[in-house]
Structure 1
Amino acid sequence: MEKFKIFYLSTFCLSLFISSCSQSPKLYKKEFSQKVSNKYAKQFIEGLKGGYYQGTPEEHFHIQEAMILDTTFSDPYREMGAPRVKRGINTETMKKYKKAVELDPESWQGYRGYLYLYFYRDYDNAIKDFDELDALTPNFVDYPQSENIDFMRGIAYMMKKEYPKAQEYFKKFFDHESKSGDLNYIESRAFMYYGITYFETGEFDKALEKFELGIMYNKNADLMYWKAKTLKVLGKRPLEIKKTLENSKELLAKGYNSRRPYVEEFYQTYMEDIDDLLNSI
Structure 2
Amino acid sequence: MMKRILIICLLLGTAFSSFAQLSEADSLRIEAIYKRSMREYQGTKMNMLYLDSCVQLNPNMAKAWRDLGTPYLKRGDFATWAWYINKAVALAPKKMLVSRGWCRYKFMRDCEGALADLKEVIRLTGDGTAHTGDGTYNLYVVMALCERGLGHPEAALQYFSLGIDSVRKWDPNRPPDLYDYVHRAALKIQLQDYKGAMNDLEKEEKIYPDLAETSYYKGIILLAQKKTAAAVQQFNEADKRLKTGFRLNDVYCEIFDSIYPWDVAAQLAAVPH
TM-score > 0.5 by shorter chain: yes
The question of whether the paired residues in 2 share the 8 Å contact of 1:40 and 1:66 is answered with no
Structure 1 Cα separation of the partners of residues 32 and 57 of structure 2: 11
Structure 2 Cα separation of the partners of residues 137 and 275 of structure 1: 46
- Name 1:3's counterpart in structure 2: none
Q: 1:116 aligns with which of 104, 108, 115?
A: 104
Q: 2:161 aligns with which of 164, 171, 187?
A: 171
Q: 2:69 aligns with which of 71, 74, 81?
A: 81
Matched, 1:155 2:155: no
- Name 2:245's counterpart in structure 1: 255
Q: 1:43 aligns with which of 32, 39, 61?
A: 32
Structure 1 Cα separation of the partners of residues 153 and 138 of structure 2: 19
How many pairs are equivalent? Answer: 250
- Name 1:225's counterpart in structure 2: 216
Q: 1:133 aligns with which of 112, 121, 142?
A: 121
Instruction: State the structure with more CA Rg.
Output: 1
Note the alpha carbon deviations across 1:212-271, whole angstroms, 9 max, x for none.
3322432210011011011111211x2111111111111111111111111111121101
Matches within 5 A, 1:20-35: 30-32=16-18, 34-35=22-23
Structure 1 Cα separation of the partners of residues 245 and 51 of structure 2: 37
- Name 1:276's counterpart in structure 2: 266
Provide structure 1 residue ranges, at least 5 long, that are not aligned to the other structure. 1-28
Structure 2 Cα separation of the partners of residues 216 and 40 of structure 1: 47
Q: Could you tell me how far 1:82 is from its partner in structure 2?
A: 1.0
1:223 counterpart letter in structure 2: T
Residue 231 and residue 262 in structure 1: after superposition, are their counterparts in 2 closer, same or farther (change >3 A)? same
Structure 2 Cα separation of the partners of residues 228 and 140 of structure 1: 33
TM-score where L is the length of structure 1: 0.83
Moved over 3 A (4+): 179-185
TM-score where L is the length of structure 2: 0.86
Structure 1 Cα separation of the partners of residues 96 and 110 of structure 2: 17
Q: Could you tell me how far 1:40 is from its partner in structure 2?
A: 2.1
Residue 233 and residue 182 in structure 1: after superposition, are their counterparts in 2 closer, same or farther (change >3 A)? farther
* Cα root mean square deviation, aligned: 1.9
Structure 1 Cα separation of the partners of residues 16 and 177 of structure 2: 50
Note the alpha carbon deviations across 1:92-143, whole angstroms, 9 max, x for none.
0011000000001111101100001110000000000000010111255222
Q: 1:67 aligns with which of 55, 66, 81?
A: 55
The question of whether the paired residues in 2 share the 8 Å contact of 1:40 and 1:69 is answered with no
Residue 267 and residue 100 in structure 1: after superposition, are their counterparts in 2 closer, same or farther (change >3 A)? same
Residue 167 and residue 251 in structure 1: after superposition, are their counterparts in 2 closer, same or farther (change >3 A)? same
Q: Could you tell me how far 1:53 is from its partner in structure 2?
A: 1.2
Provide structure 2 residue ranges, at least 5 long, that are not aligned to the other structure. 1-14
